[in-house]
Chains A and B, each alone.
Chain A
Amino acid sequence: MMAGEMRKSALMAVDEINHSDEFDFTFTPHLRDPGGVVAGYHTACADLIRDEHVGHIVGCYTSASRKQVIPIVERTERLLWHPARYEGFESSDNVIYVGAAPNQHVVPLVRHMLDRISTDVFCIGSNYIWTWEMNRVIREIVTSAGGRILAERLLELGETAVDHIVKEVIDRKPPVVFNTLVGESSYAFMRALHVAATRAGLSVPMLSCSLCEPELKLIGSAASVGCVTSSAYFESIEGAENRSFVARWKARHGADSSLSVDGQSTYVCVMLLARAIRRAGSADVGAVRRAAANHRYDSPQGPVWVDPDNNHCFLTPRLALSAPGCQFKIFWEADAPERPDPYLSNLDLTTIGTRPEKSNDTMTKRSTHLRIVK
């Protein structure tokens, strides 16, 4: 599903650029769909460069596909504009990382959990790199704050037999569940847990750093409610840029359609690319990379710019609660766009979970609200 959302957003950005007076050039999109077959990304990318002579490639959702593409873009000196959040620990000169780095997605969420919900957590995720690394970060932060990992349960990718884990959650009643499942596994788990918890008269708070609006619809309106989600983008972000963006999206894809963080991020990729080309006066990769550095773009998700130190983006982390109507209610956002830290080199564990609570701002009030909701 995400691939389709990302393609729609990329093409929308291309159309807007091609019809805009602000740009004195147009983009010609060349589409390839390896359909999630990992080896296909290398082939598709090689074709694009050899046959279509493209200089810039937008895409890749999974880390496995990105790792396939990186050798080619490095060898041929092209740029991959990568929209998806990921687990970090990478920094290629030939990739512009527009999705959130771990300090911008998982860290704020764990911080919130420790401050406002619980220091003990039950982890469930899909058996691949995203969960392994998220669980490692969660464990590191939680244990340093004196908390405990109550369980670490893994499901194979695509697995929807979740009853044994739902039963365990209901039996053990953990104070919070950290969900790093992806796709159908996550939807199945959230539906089944909702049914079982309702029957048992329980309310189990859930955390995610990947849930997005179209997924809320897939999960279903009842079961999708109440998940604390960390993301740089929610459709419900206030502000003229985003309202206009959402309106244009819905005019194009229907009033029933929903934006997602990955779709929006793909749009941002194309816009960052166009603005860098305009600034550079050329589509040359080296010139575009230099022009993109520190060039602020007021995007739907707020100000975004590329940090030339690591080619990741300054983004504003946000936390929201999934609400009825398949939308997110944002209850916290960082004061300013946060510097990307793909290697978590600046993560100071001594300041997490032990710092004095803020008392002056709306966060406290909203968190109280959060407690009521859970």
Chain B
Amino acid sequence: MNKPSPFSVRGRRVLMVMRDEREISIVRRQLSRLGMTISEHDPAEPPPPNQAVDVILMDADAIPIKSDQAALWKGNVPIIALIGTETPSRLKWLLDLQPASFLVKPLRSAGLYTALVVAFDSAQRRVDDAAHIEKLEDRIRSRRVVFSAVLQIMRGHDMSETDAFALIRQTAMRHRTTIEVLSAEIIAAGGMPNRTTRTA
């Protein structure tokens, strides 16, 4: 699936969690210009259960720090924080929410588009980074498997560690699979499996 460009905001769904009518009207006007789908939510209420939205605009001053519902806003939807109060106690709460970008109040029409683009971009990067980290972690987890496979080849073929690893790597390349997958097969088969076909 193609990743959506962070610059294209038309049609994306935004949830406004704001209190101040004046700010709401400024934001609503600008979001309409950008062609976004707008829904609103009262900051005094707990978050809606199904946040079927792409981005949340949240007035950071409107939600009490010491309330159970503050934590409920944490999730996968990128949050743009609207900041009025810059006290460290408020900012610490905000950091816990991991805002994808922010705007400083008083709001005006300029700046909102940048905040949206940065939010979409950083949310996408977060997803990409998470996937990358998961891959690396998988690889770390399978190091034990690779090590066992190398040992098995060393014993079975009376090879040095370097040669055993080179054989596994070459075989994996020939079969177009990863070292980790082939290693698991070596352990399962008790030796180098006879593979005549390509492994997807």
Contacts and interface: CB of A to CB of B under 8 A. Distances in A.
Interface string A66-80: 010011001000000
Nearest to A63: B85
Contacts of B105: 67, 71
Of the four ranges (under 10, 10 to 19, 20 to 34, 35 or more), the interface on chain B belongs to 10 to 19
A127 B66 contact: yes
Given A71-B106, A127-B64, A154-B66, A135 B84 contact: no
B87 A132 contact: yes
Given A132-B65, A132-B66, 13 more contacts: A42-B22, A67-B61, A67-B105, A71-B106, A87-B87, A88-B87, A89-B86, A90-B86, A127-B66, A133-B87, A133-B89, A136-B87, A154-B66
B96 interface: no
Nearest to A43: B22
Interface in A145-159: 154
Interface in B18-37: 20-22
Interface string B56-95: 0000010011110000000000000000111111101000
A129 to B, nearest CB: 6
Interface string B173-194: 0000000000000000000000
Interface string B99-114: 0000001100000000
Contacts of B65: 132
Nearest to B64: A127
Contacts of A42: 22
A74 B106 CA distance: 10
B20 A129 contact: no
A133 B85 CA distance: 11
Contacts of A23: none
A63 B153 CA distance: 72
Contacts of A90: 86
Nearest to B93: A132
Nearest to A152: B66
A127 B86 CA distance: 17
A163 to B, nearest CB: 20
A195 interface: no
A133 B22 contact: no
The listed residue with most A CB atoms (<10 A of its CB), out of B22, B66, B87, B89, is: B87
A132 B61 CA distance: 12
B90 A132 contact: yes
A39 interface: yes
A128 B20 contact: no
B64 A89 contact: no
Interface of B: 20-22, 61, 64-67, 84-90, 92, 105-106
A343 B172 CA distance: 60
Main secondary structure of the interface of B (DSSP, over half): loop
A158 B134 CA distance: 49
Contacts of B22: 39, 42
A89 B88 contact: yes
Contacts of A71: 105-106
A129 B87 contact: yes
Contacts of A127: 64, 66-67
A240 B190 CA distance: 99
B90 A39 contact: no
B87 A89 contact: yes
20 contacts: A39-B20, A39-B22, A42-B22, A63-B85, A67-B61, A70-B106, A89-B86, A89-B88, A127-B64, A127-B66, A129-B85, A129-B87, A129-B89, A132-B89, A132-B90, A133-B90, A135-B89, A136-B87, A136-B88, A136-B92
Interface in A249-298: none
B21 A39 contact: yes
Given A39-B21, A42-B22, A89 B85 contact: yes
A89 B188 CA distance: 63
Interface string A133-176: 10110000000000000000010000000000000000000000
Contacts of A133: 87-90
Nearest to B88: A136
A74 B21 CA distance: 20
A129 B21 contact: no
A44 B22 CA distance: 14
Contacts of A136: 87-89, 92
Nearest to A70: B106
Contacts of A154: 66
B66 A67 contact: no
Contacts of B20: 39
Residue of B21, B67, B89, B90 with most chain A CB atoms under a 10 A cut-off? B89
Contacts of A129: 85, 87, 89-90
B84 A128 contact: no
Nearest to A71: B106
A70 to B, nearest CB: 8
- The 8 residue pairs across chains A and B that have the minimum distance between CB atoms: A71-B106, A132-B89, A136-B89, A133-B87, A89-B87, A89-B86, A133-B89, A67-B84
